Amino acid sequence: MIDLLKQNDQPAKSQRKFIAKSLQSLPHYSLLSLVQGNRLAPVRKLLDAVPPLDLNAERLKKYDEQSVNAYLACAKQAKLWHGTGRLQHVDGRIRDVLQSIARQGAIKPARDVYAIMAGGTEMISLSMTPHRMVARSYADIHGKGAAEDCRYGSSLQWAAYFFSTFYASLILRNTVSVVHDLSVWQKKATNAEGVTTWGQKVNQKARYIWDVFDYGSDISGNYPILFGIKKIGQKVSIPQSFHHLEVRVSEPVLLKEVSHIEVPQAYQKETESILAERNYRVPVFAIELGEYVFSQRRFSELVVS
């Protein structure tokens, strides 16, 4: 949506899909936010029954009660979520993110140009969210993006749902600062060819932010990784418009503060082995199991903090 502010620039296919899904989602989220509370429970129940997303619940893998309970015992400890992946493009090479985290014993903050939109300035920070589905969408850009199987709604759909509300709130509440921050962000995040480079950490062909939520990563063998976070240090101050969507910290999150990790089932044993080599015993679950468990919740529980 930010890229639409560029003049004489034809949005890419993924950009058009994002805009369409955002516009479809905005009325639903706005109403859902207004009716939270027991007095309007019937209206909320109706909105829960008609989510504006194609959730594809029938495509999910089914799990037994024992697996579900084991997952819930860890997931209920997660106060925040962080989505990343196994591999990323960094300075012309491929960085193994999981090996780096295991070696350092922590998820470390990094310089993030997109943080300009969260605080008006580029910063070294770690971004998390109270919503699993947001973090899972960020994780999925390291895999097949919107084409990931066994998902309760695609990465592009969830990104469009949440960010439509974010941009609307941001523009309505902070118009002057938004114009300034957009200008600064565009200069920092766009190269000489007019390409937004944020998504190129996972896909070198990405031209817009939303390309990677749609197409995923171009790195062979890459896959999504989702962290549940039990505890964090001091939060970085960000505008009120971001509070429902994002939390940022400037200190590393130690692996002992991680409730559990989710990866595709095919990579579960591999992930456990990498952590065990460094003597970390963080529970690792299949991300497909997490999708199945969260699909049992009311839609409003997934989107309203």
Query: Does residue 243 surpass a pLDDT of 60?
Result: yes
Per the structure block, which two tokens stand in for 257? 């503060």
- pLDDT confidence of residue 88: 97
Place of tokens 């509070």: 243
- Average pLDDT of every residue of the chain: 84
Q: What's the mean pLDDT in 272-278?
A: 97
- pLDDT confidence of residue 10: 40
- pLDDT confidence of residue 170: 58
SS3 102: helix
- pLDDT confidence of residue 25: 86
Q: How many CA atoms lie within 13 A of 222 on its CB side?
A: 27
- Are 255 and 105 contacting, i.e. CB atoms less than 8 angstroms apart? yes
H or E stretch at 124:
strand 123-128
Q: What's the mean pLDDT in 165-172?
A: 60
Query: Does residue 106 surpass a pLDDT of 80?
Result: yes
Gap between the Cα atoms of 197 and 209, Å rounded: 8
Gap between the Cα atoms of 172 and 114, Å rounded: 20
Continuous H helices in the chain: 13-34, 41-49, 65-75, 97-104, 116-119, 132-140, 155-173, 175-189, 211-215, 268-277, 287-295, 299-303
Q: What's the mean pLDDT in 93-115?
A: 88
Instruction: Give 262's strand partners.
Output: 226, 285
**∠ CA 96-101-102 to the nearest 5 degrees?**
100
Count of domains forming the chain: 1
- Are 208 and 12 contacting, i.e. CB atoms less than 8 angstroms apart? yes
CA Rg value for the chain: 19
- In this predicted structure, which of 53-62, 74-83, 234-243, 262-271 has the lowest mean pLDDT? 234-243
Per the structure block, which two tokens stand in for 200? 């190129």
Q: What's the mean pLDDT in 138-150?
A: 97
Query: Does residue 285 surpass a pLDDT of 60?
Result: yes
Q: What's the mean pLDDT in 128-142?
A: 96
* pLDDT band at residue 98 using 50, 70 and 90 as cut-offs: very high
Between residues 240 and 134, the one the model is more confident about: 134
Cα–Cα nearest to 208, from 197, 217, 218 = 197
* Domain hosting residue 42, numbered range: 2-303
